[in-house]
Amino acid sequence: MVQFGRGGAMHPDSERSLRAALFTSGEFQLTSSAWSDRERDWAEPKFLETEPDGRWMLRNLGERGLLERFSAVLWARPKAWSLDNQLSSADSALAEYNPKALLVTGPDFGHTDPQVVLPYGGNVDIDPASRRITVTY
Return all residues near 80 (Cβ < 8 A) that are at least 6 apart. Answer: 111
Burial class, 31, CB count within 10 angstroms (exposed 0-12 / middle 13-18 / buried 19+) = middle
- Confidence grade of residue 22 (pLDDT, cut at 50, 70, 90): very high
Question: What mean pLDDT do residues 56-68 have?
Answer: 86
Does residue 101 carry a pLDDT above 70? yes
Does residue 108 carry a pLDDT above 60? yes
For residue 128, say if its preceding peptide bond is cis, omega within 30 degrees of 0: no
Question: What mean pLDDT do residues 92-106 have?
Answer: 87
Question: What mean pLDDT do residues 14-31 have?
Answer: 90
Name the average pLDDT for the chain: 76
State the pTM of this model: 0.70
Alpha-carbon span 83 to 93, nearest angstrom:
15
